[in-house]
Chain A
């Protein structure tokens, strides 16, 4: 199975990687338990920075689409098909959308909402994915 990255596409490269791997899982091209290439191999093959591939793998691991089994490598998660259908970005967008609507209904201006959003983010400790 091949992966195709468009470097001119406005969609970030790591997002392209994530969506294509998820798509391949949903279509059954990547079966649960299948081994994926190492970060170094994929980064070299796509001529990308290995941090970009590592970031994509981290996100996929967080979403339980892939799992790292120590030195043996990275594999497609047993529940990858179900987990690939979950779009966290869409979830975040919808939740924030609801909050924005509620704040606007209460009379807050967009500028106040932006400042409040920044403050709320700053007040919470940073979580590393």
Chain B
């Protein structure tokens, strides 16, 4: 089965989505993240909130008054410039996506480059959490007597949708491949990978719901906000992954592999939105309780 889509329309869609990917992941979100971190350091100084700063104070003073995370900002700008150069080169050279597909791998590789600065921040956040736990010496411990139930954080309809979409993808993926005996290794690997990914989302949700706090100073209210963000983010990412996988499957079925690159770019932007975007939107600095870091 095949369907047609004009080359110029495909190219236009791809250039627009790839441009959006560059702007969203390498300019928009990094700018917001940088502003957020600097805002915290400027508004909640070590003199008033000493527990928030487990590292030697020089490290924070450097960020506050010397480098202001310029390296992080510039690194993202360089990656954005690289993306724009790739886009310009494509335009100048009269690039035509391979009708048999496969070009989406370059979109994915560029995305991995884009998330490198973000992963650097995540590592820093992880180290900060480790130091906070090490510096936590309270002999009095508090806990909320309210149970944290999954459906307090997400309406059941979303979770049911995620599960049904996963099953739908599985059927959609397996159905055209005939009996078990005719399956190639690739089919098993894909099923194991996607199932494993969904299980990992579930484990992460369970860990945040019932596990230990990552930040020992965190107030109960902030913890609820964090859990809500994680639960929603994981469920929506699972929904997006199932839809994306079914879409790519349908694209292959109808011999429309030419739109794989913009589809991949769109999916990666959605993943970033559910990860970084919803964090910035749902976990606002103003709503967090910083009094827990006071002496």
Q: What size tier do the contact residues of chain B reach?
A: 10 to 19
Whether the pair B141, A2 counts as a contact (CB closer than 8 A) is: no
Docked Cα-Cα span, A35 to B209, in Å, equals 16
Given A41-B210, A44-B212: A1 in contact with B145 (beta carbons within 8 A): yes
Q: Are B143 and A3 in contact (CB under 8 A)?
A: yes
B211 vs chain A, min Cβ distance (A)? 6
B220 at the interface (CB under 8 A from A): yes
> B210 to chain A: closest CB distance in Å?
5
Instruction: Give the CA-CA distance A4 to B141 in the complex, in Å.
Output: 6
Interface residues on A, range: 20 to 34
B145 in contact with A3 (CB, 8 Å): yes
CB nearest neighbor in A for B209: A41
Q: Does A46 contact B (CB under 8 A)?
A: yes
In A1-43, the 8 Å CB interface with B consists of 1-8, 21, 24, 30, 35-38, 40-42
- When chains A and B are docked, how far (Å) is the Cα of A7 from the Cα of B140? 6
Most central of B144, B209, B220 by chain A CB within 10 Å: B144
Question: Interface residues of A: mostly helix, strand, loop or mixed?
Answer: mixed
Contact with B213, one of A8, A24, A30, A45 (Cβ below 8 angstroms): A45
Q: Which of A71-100 contact B (CB under 8 A)?
A: 73
Which A residues fall within an 8 A CB radius of B? 1-8, 21, 24, 30, 35-38, 40-42, 44-48, 73
26 A-B pairs in the complex with CB atoms less than 8 angstroms apart: A2-B142, A2-B144, A3-B142, A3-B143, A3-B144, A3-B145, A4-B140, A4-B141, A4-B142, A5-B142, A5-B143, A6-B139, A8-B139, A24-B145, A35-B147, A36-B145, A36-B147, A37-B146, A41-B209, A44-B210, A44-B211, A45-B141, A45-B143, A47-B141, A47-B212, A73-B147
Known: A30-B145, A35-B147. 4 other contacts (CB 8 A): A1-B144, A7-B139, A42-B145, A45-B141
